[in-house]
Structure 1
Amino acid sequence: MGGRAVAGVAVARILAIANQKGGVGKTTTALSLAGALALAGRRVLVMDLDPHGCASAHLGVFPEGLAASAADLFLAQEAGQAPWDKVIRQPGSGLFDLAPSCPRLADLDLDLKDRKGKGIVLRQALESGPGYDHVLLDCPPHTGVVLVNALVAADLLIIPIQTDFLALHGVRHLFDTMRALNRVLPRPIAYRALATMFDRRAKACLRVLALLRDKFGERMFQTVIGLDTKFREASAAGKVVQELAPDCRGAGEYARLAEEVAAL
């Protein structure tokens, strides 16, 4: 599954990472997968679309010091006017670029309420934006215009699901949103589930993993992301796991996930 083409020109493959339940490894997946894709030679942009800005804060980028943020890409009146040059940052070692979050993203439902075509603003901005092989969208946890834009723009939706029984309920809200969008989109939203925070010692985790594989079948990644303290240490250090501990188990798992994503 490659990216789209616009006027015969290849554009980035858009990967949305979303789950409407928090604490399932969404931001860890966005950043760690971005790091793995970058190390595989891809040009990668992470867009932090969550008003809470966890991905941005993880990389040491905070709204107080920004001239522009991801919100400004939505607020541009024309796609060609999206201020990419002001928005994009190169945090840390520069493995990948970042379009940082700011609290203004939470106001976009109101800001865009009268905007014609408000559900395709992000897709149009990306089509007119700088060249990347992959753009990863770290989505907000709630339904609204930003999540809708991300799902509409995405070539593939990645749904991190914690291997915990309670986490299964959070997926229902996301699928309700997807079903509503699929009624009006020209093609259904393509998606894959990703098992995260897996503890191979816990029988409950093993049971949930079996349930996920039964439910999603071929729409589930073979890669399973286990618990690894290096993720937490990387966040504290303002790095992605590949920078902090390139040989750790978590880095290896996201490398395998990157291979699966590239093969789709």
Structure 2
Amino acid sequence: VMNILCASDYVILPVEASPWGLFGVANMFEFLDNVKRLVPELALLGVAITKLDARKNYGRQTLEALQAYEEVNVFRTLIRVDSEIEWAQDNSRPVMAHKKSARSAGEYLELAKEVEEHVGRSR
């Protein structure tokens, strides 16, 4: 992971909308700070909230907890729980290749557009 990050310009941190998802965020931020000592130009582009289940309060709690980090961008696009993601993983394919009409495929496409906007602004 260290080598991959050292060769990268940006990092997008996916965080599962659950108590366990938030559990490792502080450790990941600390790890990224250590990498930035080696590669100061590495930038955290943002945090993407994934596996959001609208029936549970975890999504709201995750969003609020991440927004408490004022210097961290939290992407507007949320990736909700979708069985098509699991089917795509079982078939070792991206969800866009597995089923382009899946709700999650559209959410990932929106996230990609949002990422593109942020990359354009950061240059």
Fold match (TM-score > 0.5): yes
Q: Does 1:190 align with 2:43?
A: yes
Q: How many residues align?
A: 117
Identity of aligned residues (%): 28
Q: Structure 1, unaligned stretches of length 5 or more?
A: 1-146
Contact 1:198–1:205 at 8 Å: present in 2 too?
yes
- The answer for the alignment partner of 2:105 in structure 1 is 251
| Counterparts of 1:154 and 1:174, CA distance in 2 | 16
| Counterparts of 2:47 and 2:74, CA distance in 1 | 5
Letter in 1 for 2:91: A
| Counterparts of 1:215 and 1:170, CA distance in 2 | 14
Q: Residues 1-264 of structure 1: matches in 2 within 5 Å?
A: 147-187=1-41, 189-191=42-44, 192-215=46-69, 219-264=73-118
| Secondary structure in 1 matching 2:55 | coil
| Counterparts of 1:211 and 1:220, CA distance in 2 | 10
Per the normalisation by structure 1, the TM-score is 0.41
| Counterparts of 2:71 and 2:9, CA distance in 1 | 20
Superimposed CA distance per residue, residues 207-236 of structure 1 (whole angstroms, 9 cap, x where no aligned partner): 222222333565111111100000111122
| Secondary structure in 1 matching 2:115 | helix
Per the normalisation by structure 2, the TM-score is 0.82
Letter in 2 for 1:214: A
Letter in 1 for 2:28: L
- The answer for the alignment partner of 1:41 in structure 2 is none
Q: Structure 2, unaligned stretches of length 5 or more?
A: 119-123
| Counterparts of 2:92 and 2:38, CA distance in 1 | 40
| Secondary structure in 2 matching 1:198 | coil
Contact 1:194–1:224 at 8 Å: present in 2 too?
yes
| Secondary structure in 2 matching 1:166 | helix
Bigger RCO (CA 8 Å, 6+ sep): 1
State the shift of 1:256 in Å: 0.4
Higher-Rg member (1/2): 1
| Counterparts of 2:105 and 2:61, CA distance in 1 | 25
RMSD across aligned C-alpha pairs, in angstroms? 1.9
